[in-house]
């Protein structure tokens, strides 16, 4: 007998105490989960039933749908509403300098080569894929610009661009605003903060020079990507943990092919490179991979 067969059946009603079964049912949850998977690749196990309820209930009320079943019908009929619902179910938890060893590796091993590339007049492109509310993107930008304001400004004036993309419009709005609580930047090396961030009491604003090199775009990673150029660096961390293995393997292979030979891919601490991408990427550190030479 398999281990799965020994697991107790999921009790939907018990998992959602106090919620009217006439408003939200197991069938509603399954319908939402199927839509989310089809649109974004995110897998919603039954244990996420309460999360789906709490994230979508405001939209159910806003649209006057009354029940989740009627709201699901509206999602299917209106692509814009479907996109809003999927975005509401996107997890956006992040913080500055999360998995700090990635930024330390980037500063010590990758940044010097990027500086040489830019100073020689060539272009450098980086991608923060699944940037959420921007903390990862700005951590990367501050590390790249470095602790010397004059040198950092010279880099920013070169052919340097960082693409920051996410599926969720509300996350991109926050990322683009570049406003945070000053305490949130405590993990960032103080010399980077003093060089590129404006602190006003409890508020921190990413400075104009840092903002000038970033372009924010709404992008579904599972759809066609609206660019053909390759990147020197791609950060996609703690995004693929919500995908199934098949989706993960396909996405990592796409990332690998979007890197220049010798380019770097950074993924989350719970994520791994498997499948066809292993022929293209070699591990060079904890959840850090380099594109093999062509």
Mean pLDDT by 10 residues, the chain (294 residues): 42 73 89 89 85 89 92 92 86 85 97 97 97 95 97 97 92 95 96 97 97 96 91 93 86 97 95 94 97 90
- For residue 106, the 8-state DSSP code is I
- For residue 123, the 8-state DSSP code is -
Give the integer Cα–Cα distance in Å for 68 and 53. 9
| pLDDT score at 32 | 93
Give the integer Cα–Cα distance in Å for 228 and 104. 29
Structure tokens at 214: 């970033």
For the whole model, what pTM was predicted?
0.81
| pLDDT score at 176 | 97
The label of the residue with tokens 């924010």 reads 216
Q: What are phi and psi of 5, to 5 degrees?
A: -70, -20
> For the chain, where do the domains classified as CATH 3.40.50.150 start and end?
100-291
Structure tokens at 142: 């501050």
Question: Residue 268's Cα: distance from chain center in Å?
Answer: 10
Q: What CATH fold (topology level) applies to the domain 100-291?
A: Rossmann fold (3.40.50)
| pLDDT score at 9 | 54
**Nearest CA to 181 among 164, 197, 196?**
197
| pLDDT score at 236 | 95
Q: What CATH fold (topology level) applies to the domain 3-88?
A: Chemotaxis Receptor Methyltransferase Cher; domain 1 (1.10.155)
Measured CA to CA in angstroms, residue 225 lies from 91, 170, 187, 215, 217 at distances of 21, 20, 32, 15, 11
> For the chain, where do the domains classified as CATH 1.10.155.10 start and end?
3-88
The answer to whether the beta carbons of residues 182 and 201 sit under 8 Å apart is: yes
Q: Is 23 left (phi over 0), alpha (psi -120 to 50) or beta?
A: alpha
């Amino acid at each position: 007998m398999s281990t799965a067969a020994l697991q107790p059946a999921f009790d939907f009603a018990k998992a959602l105490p106090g919620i009217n079964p006439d408003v939200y049912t197991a069938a509603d949850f399954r319908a939402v989960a199927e839509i989310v998977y089809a649109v974004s690749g995110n897998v919603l196990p039954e244990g996420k039933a309460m999360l789906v309820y709490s994230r979508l209930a405001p939209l159910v009320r806003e649209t006057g749908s009354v029940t989740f079943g009627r709201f699901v019908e509206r999602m299917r009929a209106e692509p814009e509403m479907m996109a809003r619902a999927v975005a509401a179910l996107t997890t956006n938890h992040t913080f500055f300098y999360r998995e700090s060893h990635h930024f330390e590796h980037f500063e010590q091993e990758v940044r010097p080569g990027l500086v040489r590339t830019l100073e020689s007049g060539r272009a450098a492109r980086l991608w923060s894929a699944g940037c959420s509310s921007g903390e990862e993107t700005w951590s990367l930008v501050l590390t790249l610009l470095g602790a010397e304001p004059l040198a950092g400004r010279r880099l920013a004036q070169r052919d340097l661009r960082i693409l920051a993309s996410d599926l969720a419009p509300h996350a991109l709005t926050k990322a683009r605003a570049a406003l945070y609580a000053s305490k949130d930047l405590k993990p960032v090396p103080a010399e980077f903060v003093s060089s590129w961030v404006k602190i006003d009491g409890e508020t921190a604003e990413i400075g104009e020079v840092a903002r000038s090199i970033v372009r924010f775009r709404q992008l579904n990673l599972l759809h066609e990507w609206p660019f053909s150029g390759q990147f020197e660096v791609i950060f996609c961390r703690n995004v693929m943990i919500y995908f199934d293995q098949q989706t993960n393997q396909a996405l990592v292979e796409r990332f690998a092919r979007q890197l220049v030979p010798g380019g770097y891919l950074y993924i989350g601490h719970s994520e791994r490179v498997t499948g066809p991408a292993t022929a293209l990427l070699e591990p060079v550190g904890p959840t850090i991979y380099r594109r093999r030479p062509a």
